[in-house]
Amino acid sequence: MFPTKHILAAITLSTISLTSLATPTPVNEFIALSAYLGGRYSEQLKDSETGNKADVGNNFSQALALSWHYDRNKEGELLYSNSKQDLSISGKDINTDIYISYLHFGGRINFVNGSRFSTSFGLGVGATFFIPDESQYDNDVALSGNITGGLRYALNKQWALKADLRVYGTVLNNDSSLLCSNNSCLIELDGDIYVQTELMAGIEYKF
């Protein structure tokens, strides 16, 4: 867990820096709302006790982002992303659905060259929520962070098209577990970082 703590600390400090470096009296300040659709790609989970692998399906995802812009091409961002994903556990003949959601606070730096196109780099920290579709299992929450690369095309002063590539890392502490019911869990996990990747396209409206 030693490297994991340092990685999360670096993401947290970088996120704070991206948002706090904005000037106190921004120029052309506004708020923007972005809606995204895309795909989420997941790595496998491995049961630490049995060695069985849990496959998390690659499924569609949806996201909303509220951002606030300042001068010097910096912005803060509150992001919510959700996907209903198929979960199958080898050796246990179990197939179920699970909602994996991210709620992150972060910031971006925009690289503007005077054209309608711009790119961005962002970081965020927050929580990952594991919510089984079947009510018999308990919900779980874990600390997570994300790194984002973005592309934006301005249609006019208010509307823009956006595309984002996001990589999420969720910290799974020692003795973590998923899909628990009546003091019994289907997946036991060792300390690790669980990675998911999203490729999203969407539209932005500035107020």
Comparison of pLDDT for 81 and 11, the residue scoring more = 81
Reported as a single tens digit per residue, the pLDDT across 179-207 is 898 888 888 887 789 999 999 999 999 99
- Contact between 69 and 109 under an 8 Å Cβ cutoff? The reply is no
In this prediction, residue 14 carries a pLDDT of 55
In this prediction, residue 187 carries a pLDDT of 86
> Which residue from 143, 159, 150 is spatially nearest to 207, judged by alpha carbons?
159
Reduced to 3 states, what is the DSSP secondary structure of residue 18? helix
3-state helix, strand, coil in the chain (%, to 5): 10, 65, 25
In this prediction, residue 166 carries a pLDDT of 98
> Which residue from 76, 80, 70 is spatially nearest to 102, judged by alpha carbons?
80
Domain locations along the chain:
2-206
> Which residue from 197, 194, 202, 172 is spatially nearest to 77, judged by alpha carbons?
202
pLDDT band at 5 (very low <50, low <70, confident <90, very high): low
Reported as a single tens digit per residue, the pLDDT across 18-73 is 545 444 434 568 899 999 999 999 998 887 777 778 899 999 999 999 999 877 88
Q: Which residue has the tokens 């989970």?
A: 45
Query: What CATH number does domain 2-206 carry, 3.40.50.300, 2.40.160.20, 3.30.200.210, 1.10.3720.10?
Result: 2.40.160.20
Paired tokens of 88: 């199958």
pTM: predicted TM-score of the whole model, two decimal places? 0.84
